[in-house]
Structure 1
Amino acid sequence: MAQPAASTTTTARIVWDTADKFLRNVVDEEDYGDFILPFTVLRRLECMLADTQDEVTKFVASLGEMPPHFIDIAVKDRFDLSFYNVSPLDLRTIASVDDNVAKSLKSYIDGFSNNIADIWVAFDFNRRAKILADSNRLHAVVKHFSVLDLSPGSLPNTAMGDVFEDVMYRAFNKKGKAAGNFYTPRDAIKLMVDILITNDDETLAGDSALRSIYDPTAGSGGMLLVAQEALRRMNDKIDVTLYGQELMPSAFGLGKADLLIQGGRPDAIKQGNTLVEDLYEGQTFDYVLSNPPFGTDWSADEKSVRDQAKVPGSRFSHGLPSTTDGQMLFLAHCASKLTPASRNGQGGRAAVVSNASPLFNGDNGPTAIRQWLLEEDLIDAIIALPPHMFYGTGIPTYVWILDTNKDPERVGKVQLIDGSGQWALLRRPMGEKRRELRRDHRKTIVEAYQAFEHADPTISRVMTPEDFMFQDVPVVRQARLAARFSDDVVDALRSRKDLREGHVDVLKQLDGTPWNDLPTNFATAAKAAGLKSPVGLVDAVMKAMAVPDETAPLAIDRKGQPVPASGWKMTERVPLSEDLAEHMKHEVLPFSPDAMWDASKAKRGNEIPFTRIFYVPTEPRPLSEIDAAVEKLMSELSEMFSAVSDQ
């Protein structure tokens, strides 16, 4: 039976009461969670093991000097326990006396099985216990937690998860922006999960349904747990296996502990740098969720990443972004971890958070990664979230939905959903998070995703990959030139060895003649004067005598090629989905009839101009309305100045 929401909230409040009673004036308020969360985990694990503690202790003692790994396996086979503790102590025993509390607590922690020892290291538990002991507060904290009933009988896994979530929220509310390093808001996660599983209803049914979920930046494990809960709501018999990797020790400890206290495997989350070493190399997954860090420098990992990128077909072989921002490395990694499409209709799906940069960053690396994702038809949808959705940043964010086996109607297409207007204000901001996605907001976005090409066009657009690919075509204007003689013309030609004094008289004769006819006219006049007209001199004369003249015909050189006007050049971005000639006919030539271009010099690229696609121009205010507003403002200012001057 699920624990009532009010009861779990009360339990969480009682747990948190430790802060005001015992931590005040001992540790900084923003660090309360660093002390309360480890003790909450410790008490829950203790309660989970209480019924079998004596039997397990005797059994482990009977195994003698067997290696720890084999002891873990033996305990799992005998008692169906993923972890255990062989210490004769517990929190109640330690709290019963106030002597040697720190020493006893350390002995108790050391009694836990080797497969969860890294949790206490990640929590920096011994050092934090020493801080409390030095302040004469450790005994009171131990006593407080020793009487809390966090047993599975009182708090089933789901209810305990709610308690831990509540305590984490209180802790991260103190940290503010810093919480964004390892804690993703649950409202954002729920939307990501809703989109991921929305089309999988049929394949998730049945007694033998299996699903794997992976997060390469697992943080506190929230994405994995929310996804698991959603799948089990759809099918309580489904077998869900969680996998995660996290670099930060504190976040790793929280994630591993949170999964553990809700019945997860001890090795569900592994600690390590995902960019340097994929601890699940060779494995792919049904669902991948990730909220990688925005704008994080990866230069410390550059050598390893570049070495991996040299391997054809590897996760980083498609392109490398600037070392100042590793987001697209994680995006490429997530794509590489998706289960390939299979004949039974299954494949892998991912939801990855990013800021706006991966949409349009024009550097070679990001462009190449986007090109790969587009050409492989891996991008199913991109969803714009409201700003101020995350704890560490208020900038606009997006969720990339990747899919290796799209539904037939979605093949070869990419859906953009503008969810930036779907939000409500939080009653109390937490760091930069001031807005939240409520259930009705998530429903609106999910329904737009499901409606696909029939969705409301004000929040959803369906494009093709080619719509995001473009060619930048250099466009110049064809010159209009007249032939004019001047002293400057003679000065420009004087350095030429093939110029004779007689040529100067020829040039004077050609003043005002059509510029396009200069090659013929110059040669004819020079011959009549008994002079030669080599090709190099003809070209130099045409250049020297050229003067812009808008009334002149379009200029062509002696070979009949159009001559571009100097000082006028632009680049026209043309989607690959459009015919170049047709595009120029409708988008360029009406505004510049003399424009010309060379398709062979075009450079190809790609971008996803999300904001531009959904931009709706607003009609400017009428001038009369603006004038009236200015007049009113000036009148008010005049009255204010008069009031000041009268004093």
Structure 2
Amino acid sequence: MTQTTVSAGTTARIVWDTADKFLRNVVEPQEYGDYILPFTVLRRLECLLADTKPEVIEFVRDLGELPPHLIDVAVKDRFKLSFYNVSDLDLATIASVDDNVEKSLMSYIAGFSNNIADIWTAFEIPKLVAKLASANRLHAVVKHFSTLPLGAKQVSDTAMGDIFEDVMYRAFDKKGKGAGAFYTPRDAIKLMVDVLFAADEDSLVGESTLRSIYDPTAGSAGMLLVAQAALRDLNPDIKVTLFGQELMPSAYALGKADLLIQGGRPDAIRMGDTLIKDEYEGQTFDYVLSNPPFGGDWGVQEAEVRKQAKVDGSRFSHGLPSKSDGQMLFLAHCASKLTPAGKQGHGGRAAVVSNASPLFTSDKGPNAIRQWLFDEDLIDAVIALPTQMFYGTGIATYVWILDTNKDAERKGKIQLIDGSGQWEPMRKAMGDKRRYISETKRETILRAYQAFDHADPAISRVMTPEDFQFLDVPVYKQARLATAVTDEAIDELLQRRDFTDAHAEVLRSFDGLPWNSLASHYPQVAKEAGLKTPLAQIDAVVKAVGLPDESAPPAVDRKGAAVIAEGWKITERVALSEDLDEHMQHEVLPFAPDAQWDERGAKAGNEIPFTRLFYVPEEPRDLAEIDADVKRVMGELAVMFEAVSGE
């Protein structure tokens, strides 16, 4: 293959389809990506280093026995390279002969600088190479990749990122939907980035501007790289520092490689479980982006998370969600990593993806975490994305925009933006991803965010935290009861050991008398007759003979408490932004004039009922139109029956 410029899509197909031919019947299809990704990275790194490699080799040899980290510093200072290779070999040289291919390839890989050695470890290169060698396919694979035009002149950094996206998606797709959680589509990232930077555009100008970006679930570093590119588009002179953490080895290796390819630091992304250990503990950042796993069980991390939660003011001290879904742990973590508001007005902003669960899950932990976010005024906006946006799931998803220093007009307010309708169909589905947010649709959402109070109410609502906090107030109707001593009631009471025929005779004398006086008068009369009336019997008696009667006065029990009408106790949810009594006057009493409520028994909670707030009921069809359709259909049926009968 000649070294000519090709499109990213074409190159991705070459990388995948051709390699597929060499791997078939050697490894399982779901493992293709485990081989293709590391060889693609290896070839890209090789191409980037090709022009300076002879000089670098000579330079490093002249340095003698310096420690590896000092050699790294010297090479970076001289050649402006964050990584290098000092082996005399390359893929083409190794492929030129078919002897000792495995040994030569491992020697070549060992020639890379020490600061990227963990990339090959994470990719498990020795194991992959050994398997290909044992199947007599290693030479063919090396020869194939040695011909791919993946140099900077042929494929830009952005295009290379697209290649990685294509190859990684295909690899994940063969492994199943679950693996797709490790990659976020670029169109979703671009929307997150646009909104994230929208409030800071004025502060991003100037030659000495510095910004940090962090992703605790970095995957293949797509969010970090897209955000960095967007900042540089806004200000070419801006200094951007990237930080990431990733648990999955292959995603970590690809992310680190992609960061290096685009001039990043070798330690910009670190490997590890963010919930167990924050690799950047004590640091905060200007921008945080994250797409944590949806509904991920955190049982493995439970012991460490609960230990951290006991420390006041720690990232998990505000509440713990159900063990079956750790999304809100990541949301709380992201909030804790934001730079606090500064004296000059700058603070930290975050964009975090979630499914619908963190909006309204009513467990104690999620309620507490949301309440903390409300109390600290950290929620700037929540944006509903279109469904079928992600590779591994078609469910509804949302982006939480957090801010430690909101603009004055946004303080104490939360904007909800319904972007669920802002999508275009994909020409070809990629797993569950059948829709994408085009630049035009992205601009519509961004304009709504920027317009704030003046945005189109069809897709935007500006609320206060109190609108999302509520009291669940017990509402009941007080019973009205008359005394009806029926044979059925007597038979029921005679089932009790403490109720006799003598008690029944006394009770019959109360038939038709006011029910409210029964609890006090019945025991008095029974006592005069020499009968005992324990409290349990009194309660059973008044219950058995109470008959609903709307003409009777409101019923009270022997303690003077209101008796609730059977089957009529409900819970009314009242937002804290509303006056309780006014709410009841308008929403309850017109439909139940006798209703009463107990504010002391109310339970506090919170939720963001996104779907309900944007729900637009469909108007029912006009009855005349329905009648006309029915007549038309009946007429058609009559004609059909007549035709059948005629036969």
Task: Give me the TM-score of the superposition, normalised by structure 2.
Answer: 0.90
1:34 Cα deviation from its structure 2 partner:
3.3
**Which residue number corresponds to residue 104 of structure 1?**
104
Letter in 2 for 1:427: R
Cα distance in 2 for partners of 1:364, 1:138 equals 56
Alignment of 1:576-615 (within 5 A): 576-615=576-615
Cα distance in 2 for partners of 1:165, 1:294 equals 20
1:573-630 CA distance string (max 9 Å, x none)? 1111112111111111111122222111111111111111111111223455445556
Letter in 2 for 1:584: M
Tell whether 2:141 aligns with 1:120: no
SS in 2 for 1:241: strand
Letter in 1 for 2:410: R
Cα 1:499/1:352, change in 2 over 3 Å: same
Cα distance in 1 for partners of 2:458, 2:260 equals 44
Once the two structures are overlaid, the 10-residue window that deviates more, 261-270 or 218-227, is 261-270
Tell whether 2:286 aligns with 1:272: no
Cα distance in 2 for partners of 1:184, 1:639 equals 57
Cα distance in 2 for partners of 1:209, 1:321 equals 38
**Which residue number corresponds to residue 616 of structure 1?**
616
Conserved 8 A contact 1:160-1:261 = no
Once the two structures are overlaid, the 10-residue window that deviates more, 560-569 or 106-115, is 560-569
Cα distance in 2 for partners of 1:535, 1:315 equals 56
**Which residue number corresponds to residue 290 of structure 1?**
290
Tell whether 2:398 aligns with 1:394: no
Tell whether 2:447 aligns with 1:451: no
Letter in 2 for 1:346: H
Conserved 8 A contact 1:493-1:544 = no
1:132 Cα deviation from its structure 2 partner:
3.3
Tell whether 2:331 aligns with 1:335: no
1:30 Cα deviation from its structure 2 partner:
5.2
Letter in 2 for 1:344: Q
Cα distance in 2 for partners of 1:552, 1:35 equals 83
**Which residue number corresponds to residue 206 of structure 1?**
206
Cα 1:646/1:188, change in 2 over 3 Å: farther
Letter in 1 for 2:223: M
Cα distance in 1 for partners of 2:308, 2:635 equals 69
Conserved 8 A contact 1:493-1:541 = no
Cα 1:279/1:545, change in 2 over 3 Å: same
Conserved 8 A contact 2:470-2:573 = yes
**Which residue number corresponds to residue 546 of structure 1?**
546
Letter in 1 for 2:231: L
**Which residue number corresponds to residue 177 of structure 1?**
177
Alignment of 1:467-546 (within 5 A): 467-487=467-487, 492=493, 507-518=507-518, 542-546=542-546
**Which residue number corresponds to residue 130 of structure 1?**
130
Cα 1:606/1:178, change in 2 over 3 Å: closer
**Which residue number corresponds to residue 436 of structure 1?**
436
Cα distance in 1 for partners of 2:103, 2:181 equals 33
1:250-286 CA distance string (max 9 Å, x none)? 1111111111111111111111111111111111111
Conserved 8 A contact 2:377-2:412 = yes
Conserved 8 A contact 2:173-2:180 = no
Segments of 5+ residues of structure 2 without an aligned counterpart are none
Alignment of 1:48-87 (within 5 A): 48-87=48-87
SS in 2 for 1:275: coil
May I ask how many residue pairs the two structures share in their alignment?
A: 643
1:441 Cα deviation from its structure 2 partner:
0.7
Tell whether 2:61 aligns with 1:35: no
Cα distance in 2 for partners of 1:423, 1:192 equals 15
Conserved 8 A contact 1:176-1:432 = no
Letter in 1 for 2:253: G
Cα distance in 1 for partners of 2:538, 2:25 equals 91
Tell whether 2:200 aligns with 1:186: no
**Which residue number corresponds to residue 555 of structure 1?**
555
1:449-482 CA distance string (max 9 Å, x none)? 1111111111111111111111111222100011
SS in 1 for 2:566: strand
Cα distance in 1 for partners of 2:323, 2:372 equals 20
Letter in 2 for 1:368: A
Conserved 8 A contact 1:423-1:436 = yes
Cα distance in 2 for partners of 1:194, 1:511 equals 77
**Which residue number corresponds to residue 308 of structure 1?**
308
**Which residue number corresponds to residue 403 of structure 1?**
403
Letter in 1 for 2:117: A
Conserved 8 A contact 1:291-1:353 = yes
Once the two structures are overlaid, the 10-residue window that deviates more, 184-193 or 546-555, is 546-555
Cα 1:555/1:114, change in 2 over 3 Å: same
**Which residue number corresponds to residue 260 of structure 2?**
260
Cα distance in 2 for partners of 1:116, 1:472 equals 56
Cα 1:397/1:531, change in 2 over 3 Å: same
Alpha-carbon RMSD across the aligned residues, in angstroms, is 3.3
SS in 2 for 1:320: coil
Letter in 2 for 1:387: T
1:57 Cα deviation from its structure 2 partner:
3.0
Cα distance in 2 for partners of 1:405, 1:610 equals 24
Cα 1:391/1:353, change in 2 over 3 Å: same
Letter in 2 for 1:284: T
Cα 1:78/1:594, change in 2 over 3 Å: same
1:553 Cα deviation from its structure 2 partner:
2.2
Q: Calculate percent identity across the aligned residue pairs.
A: 69
Cα distance in 2 for partners of 1:417, 1:4 equals 45
Cα distance in 2 for partners of 1:17, 1:199 equals 44
1:307 Cα deviation from its structure 2 partner:
0.8
Conserved 8 A contact 2:6-2:155 = no
**Which residue number corresponds to residue 250 of structure 1?**
250
**Which residue number corresponds to residue 47 of structure 2?**
47
Cα distance in 2 for partners of 1:596, 1:440 equals 52
Conserved 8 A contact 1:178-1:391 = no
Cα distance in 2 for partners of 1:523, 1:167 equals 85
SS in 1 for 2:139: helix
Conserved 8 A contact 1:216-1:246 = yes
SS in 1 for 2:366: helix
Letter in 2 for 1:187: D
**Which residue number corresponds to residue 196 of structure 1?**
196
Cα 1:359/1:641, change in 2 over 3 Å: farther
